[in-house]
């Protein structure tokens, strides 16, 4: 079985998720390509960051990978198994190896269930036969793992602060000791002082449990702190993917450059080089021809309208979907 050891934990090829829109009444019908032609892999123990603005399709990628939504096209291989078309029943044993952490700590815990029932639900669903006392012990162990007191098990979600609830949500995801965790904006609804705590917790857990993660967020600094590699999405496609340090010291796609430059910073030294993009995200119903970013891109040329650029090698492990190789883009950080 030496072959499977080197194979990635998650292998996503040409993933697409299209949504039909419009109503039969208005007569307007169309297809929104929420996610289109997305490919990536996550190795065992690796954290892949997925950055994008709203409407970029990053959440849909996370949900589709977990098969909470059915992909329109493409293939998802997890632990060497093709799970793209597995039935709900066949997915059940797979689910214990992949879990999800949500953005909103207020909506992700059932308000009518005690923390103990929330955390023991995974054990019950997966039919782990154990005495009540043993289950309680597992719950308390999980609470301690995420830095909460065991007595928290007897309380209800509304008795906790946002940061504490997020810890409970993480504990739930870890109950079955999954190999892959999809964290969908898991820290972006938290207070700044608590956000760092939860990021640190995720980093600790990753080390302790050899977790792999798909870490989805809109905040580049947050993603950079935790990810080994980062993929940048724009309008349903990955436009750049690179090892974290390489991306932060030398972005190769104009959109990545703009994202870096738009991020507000408390360091006044970094502000003057700001690029303010014109306009909004184009309507996903009628994306522009060729490169979807060209309407807002300060470097666009006429050739950008011709074809949708594919991801091409731009460096070791570094890929970009931009036809202009002649650009020198500004980077937020210098190579040390």
Partner 1 sequence: MSGVGTSQMEMAAGKPVRQGNRAVRRFLRHRLAIIGLLIILFLVLACAIGPSLLPYNQLHIDLRHRFQAPFMGPHILGSDQLGRDLLARLLMAGRISLTVGFVAMVLSTAVGVIIGLASGFYGGRIGGALMRLVDAVLCFPSIFLLLTLAALTTPSLLTITVIIALTAWMQVARIVDGQVRALRERDYMIAAEALGASDSRLMFRELLPNIVAPIVVSATLNVANAILMEAYVSYLGYGIQPPTPSWGNMLNNAQEYLTTAPWLALLPGAVITLAVSSFNFVGDGLRDALDPHMDLPG
Partner 2 sequence: MSALLDVEDLAVRFRSDSGEVTALEGVSFSVAAGETLAIVGESSSGKSVSALAIMRLLPPAPACRVTGRIRFQGRDGPISLLDLPERAMVAVRGGEIAMIFQEPMTSLNPVHMIGRQIAEAVLAHEGGGKTAALRRAIELLDLVGIPDAARRAESYPHQLSGGMRQRAMIAMALASRPKLLIADEPTTALDVTVQAQILDLLRRLQAETGLAIIFITHNLGVVAEIADRTLVMYSGQVVEEAPTASLLAAPLMPYTRGLLNSVPRLEAALRPGQRLPAIAGNVPDPRHRPAACTFQPRCDWAQPDICGVTRPGMERVAEAHLVRCARWREIAV
Beta carbon of residue 259, minimum distance to partner 2 (angstroms, whole number) = 7
Handedness of CA 185, 79, 18, 56 (dihedral sign): positive
Burial (0-12, 13-18, 19+ Cβ within 10 Å), 325: exposed
Three-class SS of 65-79: HCCCCCCCEEEEEEC
Q: Which residue has the tokens 């998720």?
A: 17
Q: Which of 296, 289, 318, 299 is nearest to 53 (CA)?
A: 296
Within 8 A by CB and 6+ apart from 72, the residues are 16, 17, 18
Determine, following the binding rule CB under 8 A, whether residue 110 of this chain makes contact with partner 2.
Answer: no
- The rounded radius of gyration (Å) of the Cα atoms in the chain is 21
156 binding partner 1? (CB under 8 A): yes
Q: In this chain, which stretch among 101-109, 267-275, 304-312, 318-326 interacts with partner 2, using CB under 8 A?
A: 267-275
Among 7, 21, 31, 107, binds partner 1 (CB under 8 A): 107
Q: Is 268 exposed, middle or buried (0-12, 13-18, 19+ CB in 10 A)?
A: exposed
CA 220 to chain centroid: 12
Nearer to partner 1, 72 or 188 (CB): 188
Nearer to partner 1, 160 or 255 (CB): 160
Question: Min. distance of Cβ 319 from partner 1 in angstroms?
Answer: 29
From 60-68, 70-78, 172-180, 187-195, span contacting partner 2 (CB under 8 A) = 187-195
Determine the Cα–Cα distance for residues 204 and 216; give it in Å rounded to an integer: 18
The site string for partner 1 over 25-64 (x = CB under 8 A, - otherwise) reads --------------------------------------x-
109 binds, options partner 1, partner 2, none, Cβ within 5 to 8 A by partner type: partner 1
Per-state percent for the chain, helix, strand, coil, to nearest 5: 35, 20, 45
Least Å distance, CB 258 to partner 1, is 25
**Which residues are near partner 1 by CB under 8 A?**
63, 66, 68, 91-92, 95-96, 98-100, 102-104, 106-113, 121-122, 125-126, 156, 158-159, 161-162, 169, 172, 176, 189-192
Binding site for partner 2 (CB under 8 A): 53-54, 161-164, 191-197, 199-200, 203, 207, 218-222, 224-225, 228, 244-245, 247-249, 258-260, 262-268, 271, 274, 276-277, 280-281, 332-333, 336
């Amino acid at each position: 079985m030496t072959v499977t050891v080197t194979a990635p934990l998650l292998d996503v090829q040409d993933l697409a998720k299209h949504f039909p829109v419009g109503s039969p009444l208005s007569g307007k019908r169309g297809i929104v390509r929420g996610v289109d032609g997305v490919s990536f892999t996550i190795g065992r123990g690796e954290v892949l960051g997925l950055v994008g603005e709203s409407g970029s399709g990053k959440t849909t990628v996370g949900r589709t990978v977990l098969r909470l939504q059915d992909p329109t096209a493409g293939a998802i291989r997890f632990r060497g198994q093709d799970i793209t078309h597995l039935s709900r029943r066949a997915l059940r044993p797979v689910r214990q190896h992949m879990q999800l952490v949500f953005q909103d700590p207020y909506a992700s815990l059932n308000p009518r269930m005690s923390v103990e029932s929330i955390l023991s639900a995974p054990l019950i669903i997966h039919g782990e036969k154990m005495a009540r006392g043993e289950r309680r012990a597992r719950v308390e162990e999980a609470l301690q793992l995420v830095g909460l007191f065991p007595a928290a098990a007897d309380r209800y979600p509304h008795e906790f602060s946002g940061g504490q609830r997020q810890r409970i949500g993480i504990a739930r995801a870890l109950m079955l000791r999954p190999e892959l965790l999809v964290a969908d904006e898991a820290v972006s609804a938290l207070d700044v002082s608590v956000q760092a705590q939860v990021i640190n917790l995720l980093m600790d857990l990753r080390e302790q449990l050899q977790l792999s993660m798909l870490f989805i967020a809109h905040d580049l600094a947050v993603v950079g702190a935790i990810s080994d590699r980062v993929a940048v999405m724009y309008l349903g496609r990955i436009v750049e993917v690179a090892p974290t340090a390489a991306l932060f010291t030398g972005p190769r796609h104009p959109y990545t450059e703009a994202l870096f430059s738009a991020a507000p910073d408390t360091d006044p030294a970094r502000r003057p080089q700001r690029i303010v993009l014109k306009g909004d995200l184009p309507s996903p119903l009628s994306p522009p021809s060729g490169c979807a970013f060209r309407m807002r891109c300060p470097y666009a040329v006429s050739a950008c309208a011709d074809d949708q650029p594919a991801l091409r090698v731009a460096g070791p492990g570094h890929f970009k979907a931009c036809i202009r190789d002649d650009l020198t883009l500004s980077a937020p950080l210098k190579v040390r």
